[in-house]
Structure formats: structure tokens, C-alpha cells
């Protein structure tokens, strides 16, 4: 039912994508009502973005993509007013929409009917009357900083005080601000303020050619470079009816699983360290470094920023690389197994992991949790499992899931996903698919919208491209699952003590750059 | 506990020899001696992400893994700019981080050094300059050394830090 929606018999159209994907044009009433219907049928909000089409037909548009049982449903809503474009908010149906709507307002001046219009991406770097994603705005313009105080929600009561953390954090991590309201050590409320690393990526895309956009996509969040560049290429290939050769698809998946392995290894070490077990950091960072060096010899780079390109991949594995990769997987698997046993049997570590930062399933479902953090709270979504795009259609990936939703569950999901990723990597190497590693990817016909969705280590990343004339990009929207999962942290921390925040935060390990764009 | 100890022993010491700086290339032991003489084994680095994609952060974090073992020669990452001698800055500098970066630099006691890490820190990289990005770190604060690469590998970052002090 959801894919056809039956919204007063409105027509739906296929959208080029690597997943089954349909688009419906809806009015303001159906925008809201349709979202309610999808939510009731178990749908989830994937992403929300706007576009300025005044040069084409005098309209602003807002798009929402939902993950439903059959695939992806995209709503497109046109706003008639050019001077005060507004649309009904989805935040009461999908709470995670709130930040996305505030970001759309900052960039395009399209306001949802939700009262919270505090700047999310705009901190004073450009005037309130300027909307950078509008077509009549020259992206190269710069403005003096005019920072205004941000109205955090205040908690009042006997002994309540605030702790402000960031944007510069005490560690080698990205910038963001956390405002804690605490009594003693106990957290009563956490409010996040993000947007510090906003670099104008969406505007930057507009000046680029389709065949070079994957490089920028890869740098949206460096730890998910393969996923973002693959999602970009998947969208572009769908628009241009290009089929990625099977060998290239295998290599993309191999690179994506290596990215997952490297990040999980890094996180497991850091989680041990944040719980006072430095041995864990030493061991896991050693294994991560070993994997990066294997990457360097197999793929030609430690981090695979420019490995995936439109039409395929840049290089094939060198001769005999399969053998050495398989040997490495054995060593890695043995190492991770033994560390898993050490973690499991360490009472001090388990004491910190268990019941810390609990996000129960009911709340996780309600907030729209997605990806790794969602799976640790019993939310069973994994694009590789649910909508297996090539080459996962031949690999039968297993869903890794936990139900307790605490730090321990997020640790366990990482351990189990490492073992599952290693299994997938072995299958990919044993697959005898040979042949070309790339094919020509022509220019997309102007005005076509395409979606690419890839399950990154953190969760599903989405890229929506609208092609422009002569191989240009008219609009490109990139979405990191951190948009959905940052608000989870505000709930998971409640009732915990401030000193546990680094551990709980690390167990989510969300992207600032991927979120801020 | 026995499993933990046995793994520590089986892993052994993995720390590799430190890279020779590109310029002048004195022997590494000599350089270490200089470093210790000048800094008393206490170079304190404060990392600031001024808007990077987090790729450079991954390679900076790698400096503390057992292979590069930066703390082994007395170079450590500190939590406050007030404890730091050197800022390791990744970029491009976003407009939203411009003020925070300047204030972090102000909080570092003199004398202080700044190393810009990565192509974006060096020149703005793929993001360039626009309404939300100031591009290179040097556009916002004075920079003493840049490390190019996207991301630069840990050895390149280490070389830049070492070569900076071989000239001091």
C-alpha cells in the first residue's frame, strides 16, 4: 500500500535509484497526511531537502524521502508563494525532521510551520536575510561573522546548573556544542548545537560537473568516504542508465566493508579507553593500523577517498592480493575474537558498558533511530539486508541486532558486524567475477532526479542528484544518518552522570561533518 | 587477566623508527636529542578541527597507535589550549568555526606554533572558499607549517612536526 499511497488516486512515478523508489507530487494537506500514513505503516523518514526552482517554473520545492517496506517513497511538494514559502512540519510525526527543517530554512528560506526557527546551520556566518542555496545567491560571497547568543532551553530548580562543552572538544574529534543541565553529576537535560563544520557543500555541488562530484561526496564525512562516493555514483548511474560492471560492484562492496571494519576497530578501542581500559585502545588501534596498511597495498590508499568513481572503481586489486587479504582476515578474526572474550570477561569494563546510555526500543522507534545505533536498540534496518542492491543480492548478509540499547549493545553490534563483514569480504574475494572495473558514464539528461542509498558503517547514507545541462549538477543533496541519530544521544544521556558522557557519546560515534555539510 | 597479559606479551613492542625530516635530514637520534633538549620531552599539541571532513582526524589519531607511538618521544595531545605549545589545525576553516579557532589560538601561551594539516588546511581543498568556508587555515590565523595530503598519512604529519623543530 505505501508505495502507491493511494493519496486520492495520485500518480506515482519511478525515480532512478539503486533501490526501488517512487515519487508522488503532493499538496500541503497530503504532505502531512501521507507522512502520517507512512509512519503508521512502519515507514521512516530518510531525509528532507528543498530546492529553488524559481528560475524554471517560479516555485520552491520541498522533498521528503521515506523508507517503507517496498523501498523508498519520495514526496515532492511545490510551494506557490515566492515571498513566504511554507509547508507543514513533519516533526510531530517524525521528530528527527525538526533539525532537517531548520537546516532547510537556513539554506533556502523555506519555513516549516513549526515554531522553532533558531538557526541550525547558520550561526552568524551569513545574514539572516541571505539564503545561500537560492539560485540568485552568489556562493563565493563572504560576510563578516555576526554571532548571536543561542537560546538554549533553560532548566530551572534547586541546584540545577549548566555545563557548556565545545565547540572545541578535549580530544582529536570534531567540533560541536553540548549544553548539559545537571544536578550534582546527574544529567537532567542535554541540548546539542551543531552546524560548526558547515562548509556549504550543497552550494559547492552546484558548481561542479557530474563526473567530478563523487570526490566532494567522499569528503562529506571522511570516515564514510566509500559509502558517500558510492551513493553519489549509484544516483548518477541510475540517472544515466549506466550499469556498474559486476567486478566493480564487488570491489566497491569490498572497500565499503573494509571501511566498516576500520571504523568498528577504531571505535572498539576508543570505547575500551573511555572506560579506563587502555589495553583495548592499544590492541584495536594496532589492528586498525594493520588494516589500513593492507588497504594501502591492496587498494593503493589507506583511506579510500577516491576509489569509487562514476561507472566503476579506479583500480583493481593487484595480483595475489586476494591471497594476502584472506590471510589478513584470518589474523584479524583471531585477534578480534580473543579481544571480544577479554572485553566480555572484564568485570570493570562490563560494569561501565552495561546499563549506560540506555535507549530502549520503543523510544528508538519513535525517534526514528537508524543504522548501527538503531540496531543496538532492536530497530531492524539494514539496507544491505532489507533491499540488497548489487552485489549484496548474492551475499545474503545477516542482520546484526541487539535489544538492550545500552553502550554494551552498541559494543556488541560492532563486534558482531566485524565478524559478518569478514564473512562478506571472503565471499567477495571468492566470487570469480572478472572483467572490466569501469564503464563509461554519460551525461545525465537535464532535470532528472536520482537517488543513491548505501548502508555505511554508521547507517544509510543518501544522495539525491538532480542533473543540469551539459553534464552539470543542478542540485545535490547529501544526507548522513547522523541527522537521525544525534537527537538519540540527548535521550540516551538522561539520568546518567556527566563523566559517562564521553563513553556514551563514543558508543554512538556520530559524524559532525556529515551532518553539518 | 592471564589472557590480557598473554596478548600484551604476544604483541610485543611495535613502535617503528621515526621518520627522518625531509629538510637537512640529520640522524633521527640526533633529532630526538634536539627535541628533548629544546622541549624537555614535553611538546604539547592541541588539535583543533576547524571544519574538516574528519579524514585528517583519523590519521592524527593514528599517531598515538603503537606503530607511531608519538607519546613515546614525549609529544602528547592535551585537552586544553592553555597547556599547548603547538596547534594542529585541520580545515577548511568554516565560517562557524572562525571565532572558535581564533579564540583557541589566543588561549595558547606564547611562544606558539601552528601546523595546518591536510589539503583543505593548506588551500581549502575540494571545498574551497565560499559563504560558509574561509578556505586555508592561513586565511584566518598565522601558520608555520603545512602538511598536504587528503588525508596526509601519519608519517607526513610526524615529519612536519619534526622538521618544524629542527629549524627552531
Q: Give one word for A16, left, alpha or beta, with left for phi > 0 and alpha for psi -120 to 50.
A: beta
Per-residue pLDDT at B5 exceeds 80: yes
* Average pLDDT for B71-82: 88
> pLDDT tier at B25 (50, 70, 90 boundaries)?
very low
pLDDT in tens, chain A (517 residues): 445 554 556 778 899 999 999 999 999 999 999 999 999 999 999 999 999 999 999 999 999 999 999 999 999 999 988 889 999 999 999 999 999 999 999 999 999 988 888 999 999 999 999 999 999 999 999 999 998 899 999 999 999 999 999 899 988 999 999 999 999 999 999 999 999 999 999 999 998 999 999 999 999 999 999 999 999 999 999 999 999 999 999 999 999 999 999 999 999 999 999 999 999 999 999 999 999 999 999 999 999 999 999 999 999 999 889 999 999 999 999 999 999 999 999 999 999 999 999 999 999 999 999 999 999 999 999 999 999 999 999 999 999 999 999 999 999 999 999 999 999 999 999 987 789 999 999 999 999 999 999 999 999 999 999 999 999 999 999 999 999 999 999 999 999 999 999 999 999 999 999 999 9
3-state helix, strand, coil in chain A (%, to 5): 40, 20, 40
CB contact under 8 A, A279 and B59: no
Mutate to test the interface with B, among A199, A295, A300 (most CBs of B within 10 A): A199
CB contact under 8 A, B49 and A292: no
Residue numbers of A between 18 and 77 with CB closer than 8 Å to B:
none
Cite the DSSP H helix spans in A209-358: 213-218, 225-239, 246-274, 278-299, 321-344, 347-353
> pLDDT tier at B168 (50, 70, 90 boundaries)?
low
Task: Tell me the β-bridge partners of A51.
Answer: A61
Nearest alpha-carbon partner for A516 in A203, A100, A232, A196:
A196
Mutate to test the interface with B, among A138, A140, A172, A201 (most CBs of B within 10 A): A172
Residue B158 pLDDT: 86
Q: How far is A280 from chain B (nearest CA, A)?
A: 9
Chain A residues touching residue B50 (CB < 8 angstroms): 175
Residue A416 pLDDT: 98
Distances (CA, A) of A157 to A136, A188, A495, A498: 48, 11, 16, 18
> pLDDT tier at B165 (50, 70, 90 boundaries)?
confident
Residue A468 pLDDT: 96
Q: Are A391 and A253 in contact (CB under 8 A)?
A: yes
Q: Return d(Cα A103, Cα A108) in angstroms, integer.
A: 8
Residue A1 pLDDT: 44
Name the one residue in this structure whose C-alpha cell is 523510544: A363
Q: Which of B66, B128, B131 sits opposite A286 (nearest CB)?
A: B66
Encode pLDDT of B94-121 as tens digits: 999 999 999 999 999 988 999 999 999 9
Residue A332 pLDDT: 98
CATH number of B2-166: 3.40.50.12280
Residue B34 pLDDT: 56
Q: How many CB pairs under 8 A join A and B?
A: 178
Q: From A336, which residue of chain B is nearest by alpha-carbon distance?
A: B7
Encode pLDDT of B27-37 as tens digits: 444 544 555 56
ipTM confidence? 0.94
- Sequence spans of domains, chain B: 2-166
Residue B159 pLDDT: 84
DSSP for A36-103 reads HHHHHTT-EEEEEEEEEEHHHHSEEEEEEEEEETTEEEEEEEEE--SSS-EE---TTTSTTHHHHHHH
Task: Tell me the β-bridge partners of A66.
Answer: A45, A73
Residue numbers of A between 137 and 156 with CB closer than 8 Å to B:
137, 139-143, 145, 147
Residue A4 pLDDT: 54
Q: Which of A142, A222, A338 sits opposite B55 (nearest CB)?
A: A222
Distances (CA, A) of A513 to A19, A355, A480: 26, 29, 9
Task: Tell me the β-bridge partners of A25.
Answer: A76
Chain B residues touching residue A272 (CB < 8 angstroms): none
User: Which class for B16: exposed (0-12), middle (13-18), buried (19 or more C-beta within 10 A)?
Assistant: exposed
Q: What is the overall mean pLDDT for chain B?
A: 86
Nearest alpha-carbon partner for A193 in A181, A175, A210:
A175
Using the Cβ of B64 and the Cβ atoms of chain A, whether some distance falls under 8 Å is answered with yes
> pLDDT tier at B17 (50, 70, 90 boundaries)?
low
Q: From B55, which residue of chain A is nearest by alpha-carbon distance?
A: A222
Chain A residues touching residue B95 (CB < 8 angstroms): 123, 125-126, 142-143, 145, 198
Q: Which DSSP state fits A495?
A: T
> pLDDT tier at B23 (50, 70, 90 boundaries)?
very low
Q: Which of B48, B127, B130 sits opposite A140 (nearest CB)?
A: B130
β-pairing, B113-117 vs B75-77, is unpaired
Q: How far is A221 from chain B (nearest CA, A)?
A: 5
Amino acid at each position: 500500500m505505501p508505495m502507491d499511497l493511494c493519496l486520492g488516486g495520485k500518480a506515482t512515478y519511478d525515480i532512478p535509484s539503486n533501490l526501488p523508489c517512487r515519487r508522488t507530487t503532493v499538496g500541503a494537506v497530503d504532505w502531512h497526511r501521507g507522512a502520517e500514513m507512512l509512519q503508521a505503516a512502519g515507514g521512516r523518514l530518510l531525509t528532507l531537502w528543498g530546492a529553488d526552482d524559481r528560475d524554471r517554473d517560479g516555485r520552491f520545492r520541498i522533498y521528503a524521502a521515506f523508507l517503507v517496506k517496498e523501498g523508498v517513497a519520495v514526496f515532492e511538494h511545490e510551494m506557490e508563494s515566492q515571498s513566504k514559502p511554507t509547508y507543514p512540519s513533519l516533526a510531530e510525526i517524525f521528530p528527527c525532521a525538526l533539525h532537517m527543517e531548520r537546516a532547510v530554512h537556513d539554506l533556502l528560506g523555506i519555513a516549516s510551520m513549526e515554531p522553532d526557527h533558531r538557526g541550525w546551520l547558520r550561526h552568524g556566518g551569513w545574514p539572516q536575510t541571505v539564503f545561500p542555496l537560492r539560485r540568485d545567491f552568489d556562493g563565493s560571497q563572504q560576510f563578516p561573522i555576526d554571532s548571536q547568543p543561542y537560546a538554549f532551553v533553560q532548566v530551572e530548580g534547586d541546584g540545577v546548573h549548566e555545563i557548556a562543552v565545545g565547540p572545541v572538544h578535549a580530544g582529536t574529534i570534531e567540533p560541536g556544542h553540548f549544553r548539559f543541565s545537571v544536578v550534582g553529576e546527574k544529567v537532567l537535560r542535554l541540548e546539542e548545537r551543531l552546524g560548526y563544520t558547515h562548509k556549504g557543500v550543497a552550494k559547492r555541488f552546484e558548481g561542479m560537473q557530474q563526473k567530478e562530484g563523487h570526490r566532494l561526496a567522499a569528503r562529506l564525512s571522511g570516515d564514510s568516504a566509500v559509502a558517500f562516493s558510492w551513493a553519489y555514483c549509484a544516483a548518477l548511474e541510475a540517472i544515466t542508465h549506466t550499469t556498474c560492471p559486476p567486478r566493480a560492484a564487488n570491489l566497491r562492496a569490498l572497500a565499503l566493508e573494509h571501511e566498516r571494519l576500520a571504523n568498528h576497530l577504531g571505535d572498539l578501542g576508543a570505547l575500551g579507553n573511555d572506560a579506563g581500559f587502555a589495553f583495548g585502545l592499544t590492541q584495536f588501534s594496532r589492528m586498525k593500523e594493520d588494516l589500513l596498511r593492507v588497504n594501502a597495498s591492496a587498494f593503493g590508499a589507506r583511506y579510500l577517498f577516491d576509489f569509487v568513481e562514476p561507472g566503476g572503481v579506479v583500480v583493481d586489486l593487484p595480483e595475489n592480493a586476494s591471497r594476502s587479504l584472506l590471510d589478513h582476515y584470518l589474523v584479524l578474526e583471531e585477534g578480534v575474537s580473543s579481544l571480544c572474550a577479554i572485553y566480555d570477561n572484564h568485570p570493570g569494563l562490563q560494569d561501565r558498558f552495561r546499563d549506560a546510555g540506555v535507549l530502549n526500543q520503543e523510544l528508538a522507534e519513535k525517534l526514528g533511530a537508524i543504522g548501527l545505533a538503531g540496531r543496538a536498540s532492536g530497530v531492524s534496518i539494514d539496507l544491505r539486508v532489507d533491499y540488497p542492491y548489487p552485489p549484496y543480492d548474492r551475499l545474503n548478509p545477516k542482520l546484526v541486532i541487539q535489544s538492550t540499547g545500552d553502550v554494551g549493545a552498541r559494543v556488541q553490534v560492532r563486534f558482531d558486524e566485524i565478524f559478518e563483514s569478514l564473512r562478506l569480504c571472503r565471499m567477495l574475494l571468492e566470487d570469480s567475477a572478472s572483467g572490466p572495473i569501469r564503464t563509461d558514464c554519460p551525461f545525465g539528461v537535464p532535470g532528472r532526479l536520482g537517488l543513491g542509498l548505501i548502508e555505511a558503517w554508521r547507517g544509510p547514507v543518501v544522495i539525491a542528484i538532480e542533473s543540469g545541462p551539459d553534464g552539470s549538477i543542478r542540485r545535490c543533496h547529501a544526507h548522513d544518518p547522523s541527522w537521525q541519530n544525534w537527537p538519540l544521544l540527548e535521550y540516551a544521556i538522561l539520568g546518567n552522570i556527566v563523566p559517562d558522557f564521553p563513553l556514551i557519546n563514543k558508543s554512538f560515534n556520530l559524524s559532525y561533518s556529515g551532518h553539518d555539510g | 587477566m592471564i589472557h590480557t597479559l598473554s596478548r600484551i606479551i604476544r604483541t610485543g613492542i611495535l613502535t617503528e623508527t621515526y621518520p627522518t625530516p625531509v629538510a637537512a635530514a640529520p640522524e633521527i637520534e640526533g633529532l630526538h636529542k634536539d627535541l628533548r633538549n629544546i622541549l624537555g620531552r614535553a611538546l604539547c599539541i592541541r588539535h583543533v578541527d576547524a571544519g574538516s571532513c574528519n579524514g585528517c582526524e583519523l590519521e592524527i589519531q593514528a599517531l598515538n597507535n603503537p606503530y607511531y607511538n608519538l607519546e613515546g618521544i614525549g609529544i602528547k595531545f592535551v585537552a586544553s589550549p592553555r597547556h599547548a605549545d603547538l596547534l594542529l589545525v585541520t580545515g577548511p576553516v568554516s565560517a562557524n568555526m572562525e571565532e572558535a579557532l581564533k579564540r583557541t589560538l589566543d588561549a595558547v601561551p606564547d611562544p606558539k606554533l601552528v601546523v595546518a594539516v591536510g589539503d583543505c588546511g593548506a588551500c581549502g581543498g575540494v571545498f574551497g572558499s565560499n559563504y560558509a568556508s574561509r578556505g586555508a587555515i592561513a586565511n584566518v590565523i598565522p601558520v608555520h607549517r603545512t602538511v598536504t595530503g587528503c588525508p596526509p598519512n601519519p608519517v607526513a604529519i610526524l615529519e612536519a612536526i619534526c622538521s618544524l623543530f629542527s629549524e627552531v
